[in-house]
A and B are shown apart, each in its own frame.
Chain A
Amino acid sequence: NAGVTQTPKFRILKIGQSMTLQCTQDMNHNYMYWYRQDPGMGLKLIYYSVGAGITDKGEVPNGYNVSRSTTEDFPLRLELAAPSQTSVYFCASSPGTSDIDEQFFGPGTRLTVL
């Protein structure tokens, strides 16, 4: 199993551009998450999904959108990128069989908005 994979690894965007961060997991996990991690700060939850067709906002959803059309994929869309969205983005998944499941993280996407 590849686990959780994310593409791209790095990206530089100009202000106002849009992009989609891809996330795929091959563990048949029900739950998937998007976090951002800023230097010196804890991970912040952007959006999460408890299954295909179901998504919910996390703590910091503004400026982002998600979709979950399949169990495997959970892309994160940035519309009108802003410098405040410069961060490291982590996708994670968990089985969803229990609320206390550990989360498995992808390698991250390092995004810079200039």
Chain B
Amino acid sequence: GQNIDQPTEMTATEGAIVQINCTYQTSGFNGLFWYQQHAGEAPTFLSYNVLDGLEEKGRFSSFLSRSKGYSYLLLKELQMKDSASYLCARLDSNYQLIWGAGTKLIIKP
């Protein structure tokens, strides 16, 4: 199918590092997006990966392994404002986004 799997919820401590994993179907793959969504708000773009490897953008990094159908989002130096849901989305062969259900990240002081 078109399943995208990511953990439902994660908890981390302020100032720490957290890795949010995402696995997806590899056929018809045209790239992998990560979006952030605060409760009651719209998703906002974080990153896009189409080639294998790590893309770093400030405190946030995203990794892709196309052969394994695997991506992760790495958040460093966690801040309370990082409490949000993180949505993994695969760009399919029709260039449409197939979305995971999101990972709710809870940051504790």
User: Which A residues are closer than 8 A to B by beta carbons?
Assistant: 40-45, 48, 58, 90, 99-100, 102-108
Interface residues of B in 63-109 (CB under 8 A from A): 87, 89, 91, 95-102
A103-B42 contact given A42-B4, A42-B87, A42-B102, CB 8 Å threshold = no
Top 4 closest pairs, chain A to chain B, by CB: A42-B99, A105-B42, A99-B95, A102-B45
Residues of A within 8 A of B30 (CB): 99-100
Residues of A within 8 A of B91 (CB): 99-100
For residue B14, give the distance in angstroms from its CB to the closest CB of chain A: 26
Contact A43 B43 (CB under 8 A): yes
| Complex A-B: 14 CB contacts under 8 Å | A40-B101, A42-B89, A42-B102, A43-B97, A48-B96, A58-B96, A90-B43, A99-B30, A100-B30, A102-B48, A103-B45, A105-B43, A106-B42, A107-B41
Contact A107 B42 (CB under 8 A): yes
Residues of B within 8 A of A40 (CB): 8, 101
A46 CA / B24 CA spacing, docked (Å): 21
Taking chain A's interface residues, is the majority helix, strand, or loop, or is none over half, making it mixed? Answer: loop
CB of B50 within 8 A of chain A?
A: yes
A43-B50 contact given A58-B96, A100-B30, A108-B42, CB 8 Å threshold = no
For residue A96, give the distance in angstroms from its CB to the closest CB of chain B: 11
Give the residue name and chain of the A residue nearest to B6 (CB).
Answer: A42
For residue A10, give the distance in angstroms from its CB to the closest CB of chain B: 11
Residues of A within 8 A of B89 (CB): 42-43
Residues of A within 8 A of B97 (CB): 43, 45, 103
| Given A42-B101, A100-B95: 9 more A-B contacts, CB < 8 Å | A42-B99, A43-B43, A43-B99, A90-B42, A100-B48, A102-B45, A104-B45, A107-B41, A108-B42
A105 CA / B35 CA spacing, docked (Å): 11
